[in-house]
Structure 1
Amino acid sequence: MSSRILSIDDDAGIRRSLGAYLEDCGHEVIEAADGRSGLEAFERGQPELVLCDLGLPDMSGLEVVAALHARSPDTPLIVISGMAAVGDAVQALKRGAWDYITKPIADFGVLDTAITHALERAGLIRQNREQQARLEAMNRQLAHTLRQLQEDEEAARTLQQRLLPPDGLGFGAYRFTRRLLPSAYLSGDFIDYFALDGQRIGFYLADVAGHGAASAFVAVILKTLVGRYLRAHVRQGDATILHPAQTLAQLNRDFCAEGLDKHATMLYGVIDQREDLLCWGNAGHFPYPLLHDGVGARFLAHPGRPIGLFENARYQEHCLHLPQRCRLLIASDGLLELLPPQPRAGRAEGLLPHLDDVDGSLENFMQRLGLEQQAERIDDIALLEIDRHG
């Protein structure tokens, strides 16, 4: 990862050695010998990361840290100093430093790790701020559009489609494919997936009860709440979004507190790419998710309570390791309307023969069920397929 790095240190030898090492690693290096010239170089060069000594000749290194943080709080700032007192490290971190390394640096791998982690964290913060800005812009558009939804439900449907994630998005060995097939009436089916960090992926399929603009609006609120939990993880280290049971419990509390007079079923999961571990929680979602593990298809049958109905509802978390070749299919209950009439649980069993090939595609699954894009339906059908090959 090549970046522009500002190095502020009064020791010319250390500046040169650090600069040479960082340039060998592919970074562009800007050097400054004191605090004031460092602040000027920051304004001119707009670096993506700053390395700063605390023992500067013209002003306190802690003052430089505080000034840089005030100007650009999202720019990573790593203190590298020979002043190894714990108090100095604590003060630097309080004033905005992201990390603290003592010198002389015996192992440059420590510096590499600190720089890599800081840049990755800064990238996630930037991505989430951009995502939040997009959501806020969409929410402003939604507020304007809601006044017309009773007369123009098609406008709400278009907005709902725009909030969906890109189809066919890949995260390492995992590919996410989604379809949202509209019914004659606007409803609250929704799908989303996103990177939680460099290792984990979050995803969900939700179905807000009822039809019309109100259900679609609640689906937008649900997406906004999940986005809030994601930002809390990136910015403050809040681990709620990493744990499906905790995420569903928090959504349930937020739904009940908002008094939305709506409830939703939802399947939320997290995939750890490093461990190939799937963990999920079920908030009343049915049919249960279908997993083809390369041998055969089966339901991951664990029930749960919807969000927004019971204030003190508890949710369970279930985990399993994913094989190298597998398909996970999650569908809303609108899909069951296509199957022969019989008791609800028995009707879901009719999906198993249509997922008999681990190398199949979502399009193939839809064709086998006769899902026509233009067919008139009484309920939306939301489909999310996650496949892993290799």
Structure 2
Amino acid sequence: MSRDNTLLVIDDDTIVRESIVAYLSDSGFQILEAENGEHGLEVFRAEQPDLILCDLRMPKLDGLGVLRQVRQEAPDTPFIVVSGAGVMADVVEALRLGASDYIIKPIVDLEVLEYAINRALDNVEILKQNRRYRESLEEAIDSLKESLEVLRTDQKAGRQVQMKMLPHGPLQFGAYNIDYRIIPSLYLSGDFVDFFPVNDHCFGFYLADVSGHGASSAFVTVLLKHMSMSLLQDYRQKGKELPIQPSHVLSTINRNLLETALGKHVTVFGGVIDTQKNTLTYALGGHFPLPMLSMGGQNRFLEGKGLPVGLFDNPEFEDVTIDLSGPFTLTIFSDGILEVLPQDSLKEKEQYLLSAINEDADTVDKIMTRLDVQTMHEAPDDIAVMVLAGRV
């Protein structure tokens, strides 16, 4: 995959440098060159490249000297060192100083170099996303803290703060789309949804229903947002090559909620879609009614079990993986929907919900219209609905 990033190649060996430049230019990168460390720093300061590829052994100012200076002036700029096989001590020192990666000379396969460059650039982008997530979350939490006094007298202001925490509109992720709606029983809702990219081929989502109503339940939704984003950042920084386990996420949130001693628990359904494998891995935390899958002309409730989150010590949650190859819709409600359905028994309500979904009911508006609740603005209990549709 070609990229338009600007790279700075620093190497005093003209033949090696020119071969690297020719290959990376053909791969779509914009290339800057420097024949020694001093010149490399001049180009770096003038052009601010996206990544630096630097030989370690050079006269006057070697690669370690360049790295030290770059780390002082632009600590986030990825820096890949190129070293002969006999100077591994310098490679270790370069990594200690913050080098992103290293390549051993002679470079027999330039595809290995390109892979290392793309990986370093991806890591930088993830760090930037983490920073934006953190800044956005801190801003929202600060806004909520500033509004706590207002919440006591004006729940409408609190609702505006809470809305900032919710996703901004539907998410389109390849052939998948997620849509949602929350209808609060008060200005503040104890129901909460979120969805977000995990990496270049996976995205995560959850629907949570906090016990109770009002400001205290709404505050727990802020904690949920904070905890889920913190877990996402840790994953991206430490283990992004490993699959996410929704059961582990629920266990972590369960422990953190118990430690807060707020007396609140949460029912939640959370999952991760892998768009390369076309699979859904999910875990249930006491969620009811069960999510409904419409696929291949058949409608069914998803299987699974798990206790509510934040209520018991060491509950067991299990991961379930299902195949999503083919058009489908996955519809998830909070239990508030059961309060507004006209049927008498719980079984009748469940069957009514199941009859309302199919592969064509792929948006919240279509689902709410089929249930004849599309004009509802208030409800006896909070109602959240999420619709995930795929056309793979």
Indicate whether the TM-score tops 0.5: yes
Q: Is the alpha carbon distance of 1:40 and 1:198 closer, same or farther for their aligned partners in structure 2, counting shifts above 3 Å?
A: same
- Cα distance between partner residues in 2 of 1:113 and 1:90: 21
Match of 1:74 in 2: 76
Amino acid at match of 1:364: K
In the alignment, structure 1 residue 206 sits paired with structure 2 residue 223: no
Match of 2:155 in 1: 153
User: Where do residues 69-218 of structure 1 align in structure 2 (5 Å cutoff)?
Assistant: 69-83=71-85, 85-218=87-220
- Cα distance between partner residues in 2 of 1:21 and 1:249: 48
Give yes or no for contact 1:233–1:241 (8 Å, CA) kept in 2: no
Q: Is the alpha carbon distance of 1:84 and 1:249 closer, same or farther for their aligned partners in structure 2, counting shifts above 3 Å?
A: farther
Q: Is the alpha carbon distance of 1:215 and 1:7 closer, same or farther for their aligned partners in structure 2, counting shifts above 3 Å?
A: same
Amino acid at match of 2:309: I
Match of 1:225 in 2: 227
Q: CA deviation at 1:242?
A: 1.2
Match of 2:330 in 1: 328
Match of 1:16 in 2: 18
Is 340-349 or 225-234 further displaced after alignment? 340-349
Give yes or no for contact 1:290–1:298 (8 Å, CA) kept in 2: yes
SS at match of 2:147: helix
In the alignment, structure 1 residue 46 sits paired with structure 2 residue 45: no
User: Normalised by the size of structure 1, how large is the TM-score?
Assistant: 0.94
User: Normalised by the size of structure 2, how large is the TM-score?
Assistant: 0.93
- Cα distance between partner residues in 2 of 1:89 and 1:111: 16
Match of 1:278 in 2: 280
SS at match of 1:13: helix
Q: CA deviation at 1:110?
A: 1.2
Aligned residue pairs total 390
Q: CA deviation at 1:253?
A: 1.0
User: Where do residues 357-376 of structure 1 align in structure 2 (5 Å cutoff)?
Assistant: 357-358=359-360, 360-376=362-378
- Cα distance between partner residues in 2 of 1:66 and 1:221: 39
Unmatched tracts of structure 2, length 5 or more: none
SS at match of 1:80: strand
Amino acid at match of 1:160: Q
Instruction: Give the alignment's Cα RMSD to 1 decimal.
Output: 2.0
Q: Is the alpha carbon distance of 1:341 and 1:225 closer, same or farther for their aligned partners in structure 2, counting shifts above 3 Å?
A: same
Unmatched tracts of structure 1, length 5 or more: none
User: Where do residues 217-256 of structure 1 align in structure 2 (5 Å cutoff)?
Assistant: 217-237=219-239, 242-256=244-258
Give yes or no for contact 1:362–1:385 (8 Å, CA) kept in 2: yes
Of all paired residues, the percent bearing the same amino acid is 40
Give yes or no for contact 2:162–2:188 (8 Å, CA) kept in 1: no
Q: CA deviation at 1:239?
A: 7.5
Amino acid at match of 1:142: L
SS at match of 1:210: coil
Cα deviation code 1:317-350 (max 9, x no counterpart): 1111112211111111111112235454553232
Cα deviation code 1:15-54 (max 9, x no counterpart): 2222232222222222222233323332222111111111
Amino acid at match of 2:76: D
SS at match of 2:28: coil
Amino acid at match of 2:239: G
Give yes or no for contact 2:179–2:363 (8 Å, CA) kept in 1: no
Amino acid at match of 2:83: S
Give yes or no for contact 1:208–1:264 (8 Å, CA) kept in 2: yes
